[in-house]
Amino acid sequence: MAILSNRLSKEQFEKNFSDIHPPFETKDAALVEANRCLFCYDAPCMKSCPTSIDVPKFIKQITTDNVKGSAHTILSSNIMGAGCSKVCPVEKLCEGACVYNLMDEDPIPIAKLQRYSTEMAMQKKWLLFKRKESKGKKVAVVGAGPAGLSCAHVLSREGIDVTVYEKEKQGGGLMTYGIAAYKVSPQFCEDEVNYILSIGGITIKYEQELGKNIQLSDLKKDYDAVYMAIGVGLARKLEIPGEQLEGVVDAISFIYEIRNSGFNKVAVGDKVVVIGMGMTAIDAATQAKRLGASEVTMLYRRTQEEMPCTEVELNIAKLDGCEIVWLAAPKEIKGADGKVNEMVVEKMKLGEPDASGRRSPVATGETFTLNVDMVIKAAGQMPYQELVAANQLENNGGKLKVSNNQTNLKGVFAGGDCVNGGKEVVDAVQAGKDGAVEILKFLNV
C-alpha cells in the first residue's frame, strides 16, 4: 500500500479519461434525435434550465439546417452553453423534465444536441454577438469562473469595458479546475474562455488574487462598479483526529492537480476512501479509480435518498467499481509514520429532518475499520469567510449577502457560488447575467 503516481500505461490513462459523453458522430445522427423533439410549448425542459435556454427552439433550428441560429439561441441564454452541455446534471434539469419521460421513453438528448451546435460555433469561430459601442464605463470582475465570465459578457455586449481579475493562470473557474477530466478537457475549457472573450471589450488579468495582489478598495476606486464572483474554495474539514496525516487530501485539490498535471504525474493511493456523495465526491472517486487505485470506497452519512449527486453520477461511480457505503461517517484517521493506514468509520442511522429538509444522520456508536492509504475529503466547500470579512462585506458564514445582486458596499455586486454557497455551473452563469442586469441599472446605461 502506497500513494503512487504513474500506475497505468499512457494508453490506459487515455482510455480512462476519454470523453464520457461522446458527441454525435455525424449530422445525420444529430438529426435523428433532433427530429424526435416534440417542440413543446412553454417547454418543461426550458423551465428546468436555470438559464432558461429555449431548448425546443434550438433543437428545431438544428432540423432546419440553421445551426448558427441554434448556437445563438443557446449562447444568448447561457454563454457557457458549450461547457454546460458537458457538465450539467441534465438528468435533474432539462432532460429530467423532458415530456418523453412521462411516456417512459428516453428523453431527448438535449445536452448532446446542445454540444452539437455550440461546438460547431466554437470550431467555426462564429461571432454571434456584437458589442455595442463603448459607453466609457469600466467594471471590474473578480473571478473568471462561470459567474464572472457570464457577467462580463453581458456587460461587454452593452458597451461596458470589463477587466476580469483571475487568481489562476487560466479562466473558467471550476469548469477548468474542478470537474472530472473525462467530462471536459483543459483544452476545451481554454477554447471556451477564448470564444467567450472573442466579443472583445473584456480583458483578463491572470494570477491576480483578491486580498493579495489586488484590493477591493482599489477596484472600487478605479472602476465604476465591481462584480465579485470569487466562488468558494476551501474544502470543509472533517474535524476528526488524524486529518493532518500524510495521505489526507481534499477533493478540490486532488481534482485541481489532475487538471494541471499529466495523468501519470498525479499520485493516488492503492486503497482510497472518499468522504461525501456530491458531484465533486463522485468526480474524485471515479478519477482516483481511473488513475489506477485498486479500491475506492465512498462513505456517506445518509442514504441514497438524501444524496446530493444524481443517480446518473452515482452509476458512473458504481460502474467504475467504486464501493458505496451508506450511513457511514468518518470518526478517526489512523496512521503509521505519519502516513494514513486506517480509517475508523461510525455507522449512522437517520433521525429527524434537519435545516436542509433531509433526514439527519445520527451516530449509532457502532464502528468498523477500513484499511486505507488515502483519504479524499469531499464533504463540501467553504466560502472565503476571512476574505469577505476583511473587506467589510456582509455575509452569512462567509456567503455574501446581496440585495438585487448588490452587496452592502455600494457599487460592489456579487453572484455565483460566493453568494449561494456552491451550485452548478449553469446556476453561476445565470447569476452572472442577473448581476450584469443590476450593474447596468446602477451605471445608468
Which residues of this chain interact with other proteins, rule CB under 8 A? 31-32, 34-35, 38-45, 47-48, 63, 97, 99-100, 102-103
Q: Which three cell numbers stand for residue 144?
A: 473568471
Which CB sits closer to other proteins, 33 or 438? 33
Residue 63 C-beta: closest distance to other proteins, Å = 7
- Write the single-letter amino acid at 420: N
Pick 105 or 311: Cβ nearer other proteins:
105
Least Å from the CB of residue 401 to other proteins: 26
Shortest Å, Cβ 52 to other proteins:
11
> 327 by DSSP, 3-state: which?
coil
Q: Do residues 154 and 445 lie in contact, with contact meaning Cβ atoms separated by under 8 Å? A: no
> Considering beta carbons, is residue 97 or 197 the nearer one to other proteins?
97
**Residue nearer to other proteins on the CB measure, 60 or 301:** 60
Of 41 and 336, the one with the shorter C-beta distance to other proteins is 41
Stated as kind and residue range, the H or E segment containing 25 is none
Between 28 and 352, name the residue whose CB sits nearer to other proteins.
28
The three cell numbers locating residue 276: 461525501
Long-range CB pairs of 130-136 (<8 Å, 24+ gap) are: 130/157, 130/199, 131/156, 131/157, 131/159, 131/199, 131/200, 131/201, 132/157, 132/158, 132/159, 133/159, 134/159, 134/160, 134/161, 134/201, 135/159, 135/160, 135/443, 135/445, 136/161
Please identify, using beta-carbon distances, which residue of 49 and 202 lies nearer to other proteins. 49
User: Which residues lie across from 371 on neighbouring strands?
Assistant: 342
| Cα 159 from chain centre | 29
Q: How far is the CB of 65 from other proteins (least distance, A)?
A: 9
Residue 25 or 41 having the CB closest to other proteins: 41
DSSP 230: -
Q: Assign 348 to helix, strand or coil.
A: strand
CB of 279 to other proteins, least distance (A): 21
Q: Which three cell numbers stand for residue 169?
A: 493562470
DSSP 373-411: SEEEE-S-EE--HHHHHHTT--EETTEEP-BTTB-SSTT
Least Å from the CB of residue 114 to other proteins = 17
Nearest approach, Cβ of 435 to other proteins (angstroms)? 23
The minimum distance between CB 96 and other proteins, in angstroms, equals 9
Question: What is the identity of the amino acid at 324?
Answer: I
